[in-house]
Amino acid sequence: MLFEGLELVSALATLAACLVSVTLLLAVSQQLWQLRWAATRDKSCKLPIPKGSMGFPLIGETGHWLLQVFSKIFSHEALESYLPKIQLVIQDTLRAWSSQPEAINVYQEAQRLTFRMAVRVLLGFSIPEEDLGHLFEVYQQFVENVFSLPVDLPFSGYRRGIQARQILQKGLEKAIREKLQCTQGKDYSDALDILIESSKEHGKEMTMQELKDGTLELIFAAYATTASASTSLIMQLLKHPAVLEKLREELRAQGLLHGGGCPCEGTLRLDTLSSLRYLDCVIKEVMRLFTPISGGYRTVLQTFELDGFQIPKGWSVMYSIRDTHDTAPVFKDVNVFDPDRFSQARSEDKDGRFHYLPFGGGVRTCLGKHLAKLFLKVLAVELASTSRFELATRTFPRITLVPVLHPVDGLSVKFFGLDSNQNEILPETEAMLSATV
Ligand code: HEM
Helix (H, G, I), strand (E, B) or coil at 391: strand
Closest-CA residue, ligand 1 atom 35, reads 367
Confidence label for 367 from pLDDT (cuts 50, 70 and 90): very high
> What residues contact residue 337 under an 8 Å CB cut-off, 6+ apart?
236, 239, 240, 243, 285, 289
For ligand 1, the distance from its centroid to the CA atom of residue 352, given in whole angstroms, is 22
More confident of the two residues 163 and 49:
163
List residues near ligand 1 (CB under 6 A). Answer: 63, 66-67, 218, 221-222, 225-226, 229, 292-293, 296, 358-360, 364, 366-368, 371-372
Measured at the alpha carbon of residue 286, what is the angle toward residues 63 and 240, in degrees to the nearest 5? 155
Q: Among 385, 288, 389, 383, which Cα is nearest to 339's?
A: 288
pTM of this prediction? Answer: 0.83
Q: Among 130, 116, 125, 150, which Cα is nearest to 39's?
A: 150
Burial group, residue 18, by CB count within 10 angstroms (0-12, 13-18, 19+):
middle
Backbone angles phi, psi at 269, to 5 degrees: -125, 165
State yes or no: pLDDT of 193 exceeds 70: yes
CB–CB of 215/119 below 8 Å? no
Q: Which atom of ligand 1 is nearest to the CA of 373?
A: 1
Q: What is the pLDDT of residue 336?
A: 98
DSSP state of 207: P
State yes or no: pLDDT of 58 exceeds 50: no
Q: What is the pLDDT of residues 422-437, one digit of tens each?
A: 677 766 666 665 554 3
State yes or no: pLDDT of 353 exceeds 70: yes
For ligand 1, the distance from its centroid to the CA atom of residue 359, given in whole angstroms, is 6
Confidence label for 19 from pLDDT (cuts 50, 70 and 90): very low
Return d(Cα 158, Cα 28) in angstroms, integer: 14
For ligand 1, the distance from its centroid to the CA atom of residue 66, given in whole angstroms, is 11
Closest-CA residue, ligand 1 atom 31, reads 368
Q: What is the pLDDT of residue 189?
A: 82
| Averaged pLDDT, 16-34 | 56
Q: How long is the chain?
A: 437
CB–CB of 296/319 below 8 Å? yes
Return d(Cα 127, Cα 122) in angstroms, integer: 13
Q: Which atom of ligand 1 is nearest to the CA of 228?
A: 1
Query: Which amino acid makes up residue 194?
Result: I
Q: What is the pLDDT of residues 278-331, one digit of tens each?
A: 999 999 999 999 999 999 999 999 999 999 999 999 999 999 999 999 999 999
